[in-house]
Structure 1
Amino acid sequence: MVKAEGLKLPFETPDKIAPETLEVFPYTLPELKVGRIPKQLITYTTKEFSAVCPFSGLPDIATVTIEYVPDKKVLELKSLKYYFLSYRNVGIYQEHATQKIFADLQKALCPQKLKVTTLYNTRGGLDTTCVLE
């Protein structure tokens, strides 16, 4: 555990994030009568994402939206919930959390298209939105 400078609020390091909890299953979609496979856009949103600011040791709470077009795999939702829970006590900057989520999902899914948006609750009068596509 790391302690925020001058504070007694302990938090974990980013190596505690658990991408191995992400589970996928095969994506199968029948061809249309015109002989092509349609592209399906899948969107997941949660307002329950939280991590810890490594500078202040205070919680960072965000709405996370994941949008992707699957290729051969789809994400199992319960595993995504457990993945997000692994961030709960981790000290990670907002921008780095967004980047880590994107990288872990890209590796697990290998989608045709992926977009991750994090919209953090206002802190100190500042709003933060991070988007990776």
Structure 2
Amino acid sequence: MREKEGLTALGNKDTKYKSEYAPEVLESFSNKHPDRDYFVKFNCPEFTTLCPITGQPDFATIYISYVPDKRLVESKTLKLYLFSFRNEGCFHEDVVNIIVNDLIKLLSPKYIEVWGKFLPRGGLSIDPYCNYGKPGTRWEQIAWDRLSHHDMYPEEIHNR
């Protein structure tokens, strides 16, 4: 089955951990329920990247939620992909947009959102959010609604 789907990382004992941004590691497989809308959510509480100016590490929890269409992301390759940001210099806002763009390219989902909750550095935390709804579908409007109401009820933050 793995070969049929073209999955190479799942079950592979010789996993290579890229130390630079590597969208090519992402793999997908067929959605067995394309006629049903449902959310898939990933939480990555150990995400790291580097400040592109100072080179200091930035730590975050990255939340990825999407409504698949025909393809789903394979979770091991998603972990390898997120790990590849470890030595990449990226502003927080850029990180969430890069992740959304790469997953749109891979999956063509009905809907996707990425929220980065970065730990404070210098007394300031940054929590960028972006989303996408497939144009010409009801998900396009849902994306706008979620974006425009996204932070209406902000969470209480106690220094994370």
**Which TM-score applies when normalising by structure 2?**
0.68
Distance 1:102 1:118 in 2: 11
**Structure with greater proportional helix content:** 2
Partner of 2:126, secondary structure, is strand
> Tell me, what secondary structure is at the counterpart of 1:61?
strand
Cross-structure match for 2:78: 80
Q: 1:87-102 maps to which residues of 2 (within 5 A)? A: 87-102=85-100
Q: CA deviation at 1:38?
A: 2.3
Gaps of 5+ in 2: 1-19, 132-160
Structure 2 counterpart of 1:11: none
Question: What is the 5 A alignment of 1:1-133?
Answer: 16-29=20-33, 37-133=35-131
Q: 1:53, 1:127 → 2: CA distance?
A: 13
- The structure richer in strand per residue is 1
What percentage of residue pairs aligned between the two structures are identical? 38
Question: Aligned-pair distance for 1:116?
Answer: 0.5
Relative contact order (alpha carbons < 8 A, sep ≥ 6): 1 or 2 greater? 1
Q: Distance in 1 between matches of 2:39 and 2:98?
A: 21
Q: What do you get for the CA RMSD once the two structures are aligned?
A: 1.1
Deviant stretches of 4+, over 6 Å: none
Aligned length: 112
Q: Which segments of 5 or more consecutive residues in structure 1 lack a partner in the other structure? A: 1-15, 31-36
Question: How far off is 1:61 after superposition?
Answer: 0.7
Structure 1 residue 49 displacement after superposition: 0.7
* Counterpart amino acid of residue 102 in structure 1: V
